[in-house]
């Protein structure tokens, strides 16, 4: 009986290790899994300047996958030992993804439901990520500055924001649904 208990305990420990799931930087979003042995990792000594280019938002009922993927990217770097001080991450939202950044009142008016992205946006901002919206998209889609969630920055255009950041040494990453 004792051997069975030891075996069961060992199985629990091993299965909990295999199911490691963490959000070290963007709290509660963008879970990452532990990979025990990698051949190519992240260098925690480098400074990472990343642009997350998000233009899709296919489902108004759930969080924007591009934002969620960006949170995961931030968490992967943090889990690998990169200090938040060595990470500069800018999210650039345009096209239909811009509606992700409207406040709850405006979201309810447009979609008839609460904005599921609010907690994710705040968690990204709390982790040091900057969130920007395309000014051209705002004009084309009738989004006012007053309807944006707090601390969203407005750029002249997604294209000019991205090209300016690229000239400053940022790496451009497209959200996976593009």
The per-residue pLDDT for 175 is: 75
**132, 155 in Cβ contact below 8 A?**
yes
**pLDDT tens digit string along 66-122?**
999 999 999 999 999 999 999 999 999 999 999 999 999 999 999 999 999 999 999
What CATH number belongs to 2-174? 3.40.1260.10
Residue ranges per structural domain of the chain = 2-174
Structure tokens, 35: 């990979």
Phi, psi values for residue 85, rounded to 5°: -70, -20
User: Which residues, other chains included, contact 113 with Cβ-Cβ below 8 Å and sequence gap of 6+?
Assistant: 60, 61, 107
**pLDDT tens digit string along 116-173?**
999 999 999 999 999 999 999 999 999 999 999 999 999 999 999 999 999 999 999 9
């Amino acid at each position: 009986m004792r051997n069975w208990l030891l075996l069961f305990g060992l199985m629990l420990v091993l299965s909990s290790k295999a199911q490691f799931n963490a959000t070290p930087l963007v709290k509660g979003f963008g879970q990452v899994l532990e990979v025990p042995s990698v051949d190519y990792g992240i260098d925690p000594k480098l400074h990472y300047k990343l642009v997350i280019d998000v233009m899709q938002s296919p489902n108004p009922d759930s969080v924007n996958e591009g934002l969620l993927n960006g949170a995961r990217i931030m968490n992967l770097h943090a889990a690998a030992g990169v200090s938040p001080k060595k990470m500069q991450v800018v999210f650039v939202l345009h096209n239909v993804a811009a509606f992700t950044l409207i406040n709850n009142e405006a979201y309810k008016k447009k979609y008839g439901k609460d904005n599921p992205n609010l907690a994710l946006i705040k968690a990204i901002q709390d982790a040091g990520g900057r969130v920007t919206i395309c000014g051209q998209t705002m004009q084309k889609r009738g989004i006012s500055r007053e309807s944006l969630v707090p601390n969203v920055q407005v750029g002249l255009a997604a294209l000019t924001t991205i090209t300016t950041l690229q000239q400053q040494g940022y790496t451009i990453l497209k959200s996976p649904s593009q």
